[in-house]
């Protein structure tokens, strides 16, 4: 083993040092100081190199990076091949085109064979079996419906005053477009994420309706206001539910209306339950924003990632997303040295845990059997985290090993929140429901680059809430938007998103 510079210098006796000229001693000391600086710089560069390599190796499998940003040629881990051919397997029931009920058909045409294909004999018209049904679906020509109101003035013969029909102001106040037209604009702008000019082209091409970009913006605003009560009710509904999944993603809100002069970063929050999903754009990612979404008195179980904004929720009512944890473990396993072993050990426990969970979901294990068989996994995970957290590192250190230790220490603080799904009905081990819910919003953000104003953010959040919730309930989006606008215009109670 090579000796260090101080060890080499210590091997020289004082008598030998006394014979060394002062100029040579000064040179030696200067070289030693330079050597120390060089070694320190090499260590810093090695750390920086490891961090840059880790950054370049980021994928959707080991970080929160979306699959669209995976490097070229990246192949995610796939299941081992089973040897079966692609497509439906033997015994698979298959899926056929669904036919509409006969009573819904505008026309039914009956066809009968005239001659026997076997002997050539003439056939009667007596049915000998069930008819084979085939349907041709067509869209009839769409024509705009224009209703013109003519208000004729009548001059009073007594005083000479010119009079108009009393309902003139009321009718004109309803605008120049009907509630279904407004609903189409809201639908195209939200569910199908079309731009203003694309909507203008669609309305002209499909319905023959000409409208300006300004009119489209006005109709969007009307639709947003029409569903506001339903969205508020949905938010209150979610805050009262026993189990909620939450997630958040960046959403830029520019200062077009002067309400974001400081250019604060916006965040799109989503809260999901089996029948309702609620979206809100908030200029914050702090705990106060999470409390706005969930309600300050939220008492249910929360499934989320490790974002500190949720730390105000009692750790015993939290479930950390194991999909996020798996990505963290993969990232740790891809580092060198002790980190790699820590990551691989945690991944082994994660794999065994999900094997048991899938058996439970397939009714191969009871809840009590699941709890019993998970206990060794809980003990092993805790042991790995404790051992990793005790490694001696400087809190300011930025090496990959230091990042691993800090991750393990943070997980130890929330270790109770790793296992809520084992004992609680309705709680999932992952936050996939919220991740899937927020994906359309991410696509919307990438095509629109956020919003220009608070009103634009409000439209995005409200329409995402309406569209996603109606889909969960298998309800018609266009009819809901039409009824909402019509109710608002006529002063009636608008429809609700909350299932009755």
**Cβ atoms of residues 279 and 461 within 8 Å:** yes
Residues 291 and 277: their CA atoms lie apart, in Å, by 16
Picking from 430, 455, 478, the residue at the C-terminal end of a domain is: 430
Residues 315 and 417: their CA atoms lie apart, in Å, by 6
Helix, strand, coil percent values for the chain (each to nearest 5):
50, 5, 40
Answer whether residue 419 is part of any domain: yes
Answer whether residue 87 is part of any domain: no
For 446, half-sphere exposure in the C-beta direction (CA atoms, 13 angstrom radius) is 10
DSSP state of 316: G
Domain that holds residue 24: 1-33
DSSP string, 408-471: HHHHHHTGGGGSHHHHSTT--SS-HHHHHHHHHHHHHHHHH-SBSSHHHHHHHHHHHHHHHHHH
Answer whether residue 421 is part of any domain: yes
Strands 243-250 and 301-304 come out as parallel
Question: One digit per residue, pLDDT tens: the chain, 500 residues?
Answer: 565 666 666 777 777 767 777 777 777 778 888 888 888 888 778 777 777 777 777 776 766 766 666 676 667 666 667 777 777 777 777 777 889 999 999 999 988 888 888 888 888 767 777 888 999 998 888 888 888 888 888 888 888 888 888 777 677 767 788 999 999 999 999 999 999 999 999 999 999 999 999 999 999 999 999 999 999 999 999 999 999 999 999 999 988 888 888 888 899 999 999 999 999 999 999 999 999 999 999 999 999 999 999 999 999 999 999 999 999 998 888 888 888 899 999 999 999 999 999 999 999 999 999 999 999 999 999 999 999 888 887 777 778 888 888 999 999 999 999 999 999 998 999 999 999 999 988 888 888 888 888 999 999 999 999 999 999 999 999 999 999 999 999 889 999 999 87
Split into its structural domains, the chain has a count of: 2
Answer whether residue 437 is part of any domain: no
Answer whether residue 250 is part of any domain: no
Answer whether residue 239 is part of any domain: no
Answer whether residue 327 is part of any domain: yes
Answer whether residue 341 is part of any domain: yes
The closest of 354, 352, 322, 326 to 430, measured between CA atoms, is 322
């Amino acid at each position: 083993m090579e000796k260090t510079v101080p060890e080499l210098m210590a091997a020289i006796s004082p008598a030998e040092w006394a014979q060394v000229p002062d100029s040579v001693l000064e040179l030696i000391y200067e070289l030693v100081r330079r050597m120390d600086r060089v070694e320190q710089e090499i260590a810093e560069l090695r750390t920086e190199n490891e961090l840059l390599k880790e950054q370049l190796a980021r994928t959707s499998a080991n970080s929160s990076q979306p699959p669209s940003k995976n490097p070229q040629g990246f192949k995610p881990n796939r299941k081992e091949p089973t040897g079966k051919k692609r497509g439906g397997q033997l015994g698979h029931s298959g899926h056929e085109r669904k036919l509409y009920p006969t009573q819904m058909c505008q026309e039914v045409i009956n066809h009968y064979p005239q001659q026997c294909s076997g002997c050539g004999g003439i056939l009667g018209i007596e049915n000998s079996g069930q008819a084979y049904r085939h349907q041709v679906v067509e869209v009839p020509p769409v024509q705009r419906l224009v209703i013109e109101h003519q208000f004729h003035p009548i001059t009073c013969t007594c005083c000479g005053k010119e009079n108009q029909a009393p309902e003139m102001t009321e009718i004109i106040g309803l605008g120049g477009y009907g509630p279904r037209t407004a609903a189409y604009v809201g639908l195209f702008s939200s569910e199908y994420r079309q731009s203003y000019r694309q909507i203008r082209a669609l309305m002209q091409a499909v319905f023959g309706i000409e409208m300006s970009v300004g009119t489209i913006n006005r109709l969007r605003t009307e639709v947003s206001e029409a569903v506001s009560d339903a969205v508020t009710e949905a938010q209150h509904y979610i805050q009262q539910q026993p189990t909620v999944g939450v997630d958040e993603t960046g959403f830029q809100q520019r200062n077009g209306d002067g309400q974001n002069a400081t250019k604060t970063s916006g965040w799109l929050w989503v809260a999901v339950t089996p029948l309702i999903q609620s979206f809100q754009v908030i200029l914050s990612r702090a705990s106060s924003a999470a409390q706005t979404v969930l309600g300050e008195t939220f008492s249910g179980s929360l499934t989320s990632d490790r974002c500190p904004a949720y730390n105000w929720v009692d750790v015993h009512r939290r479930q950390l997303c194991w999909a996020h944890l798996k990505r963290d473990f993969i990232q740790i396993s891809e580092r060198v040295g002790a980190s790699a072993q820590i990551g691989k050990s945690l991944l082994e426990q994660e794999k065994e845990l999900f094997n048991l969970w899938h058996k439970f979901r397939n009714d191969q294990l009871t809840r009590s059997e699941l709890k019993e068989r998970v206990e060794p996994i809980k003990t092993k995970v805790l042991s790995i985290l404790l051992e990793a957290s005790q490694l001696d590192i400087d809190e300011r250190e930025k090496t990959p090993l230091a990042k691993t230790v800090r991750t393990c220490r943070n997980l130890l603080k929330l270790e109770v929140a790793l296992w809520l799904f084992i004992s609680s009905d309705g709680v999932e081990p992952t936050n996939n429901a919220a991740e899937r819910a927020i994906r359309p919003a991410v696509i919307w953000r990438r095509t629109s680059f956020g919003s220009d104003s608070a009103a634009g953010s409000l439209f995005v959040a409200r329409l995402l809430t309406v569209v996603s919730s109606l889909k969960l309930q298998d309800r018609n989006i266009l009819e809901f938007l039409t009824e909402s606008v019509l109710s608002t215009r006529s002063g009636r109670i608008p429809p609700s998103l909350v299932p009755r």
